[in-house]
Amino acid sequence: GAVVSQHPSRVICKSGTSVKIECRSLDFQATTMFWYRQFPKQSLMLMATSNEGSKATYEQGVEKDKFLINHASLTLSTLTVTSAHPEDSSFYICSVWDTGELFFGEGSRLTVL
């Protein structure tokens, strides 16, 4: 199955700054990638579906101007948290659908001070 890698695994930033998280599909050409957010001791919530070469599809309640998604190639999607605030602190996870299964990256833990 697909191998998905995220970078960075952990990032700490100051309030008001922007942070970019990369998601790479290492051995699979992914036209679609999914971005999830996981709060402590809670489930994963789908934020958006990233489509290669076109605009991402955001779930209801997710601010598209806050969470910028770019899927410029079949192996890379990026999530940029703009003007981050402490409430944006969370675990962000990307995934790729391949042959009937979702494969997940290791996740990126964002802490906004």
What residue ranges bind another protein (CB under 8 A)? 34, 41-46, 49, 93, 95, 97, 100-107
HEC states along the chain? Answer: CCCEEEECCEEEECCCCCEEEEEEECCCCCCEEEEEEECCCCCEEEEEEEECCCCCEECCCCCCCCEEEEEEECCEEEEEECCCCHHHCEEEEEEEEECCEEEECCCEEEEEC
Of 43 and 54, the one with the shorter C-beta distance to another protein is 43
Of 15 and 42, the one with the shorter C-beta distance to another protein is 42
Q: How far is the CB of 89 from another protein (least distance, A)?
A: 18
Of 82 and 91, the one with the shorter C-beta distance to another protein is 91
Q: How far is the CB of 102 from another protein (least distance, A)?
A: 5
Q: How far is the CB of 76 from another protein (least distance, A)?
A: 18
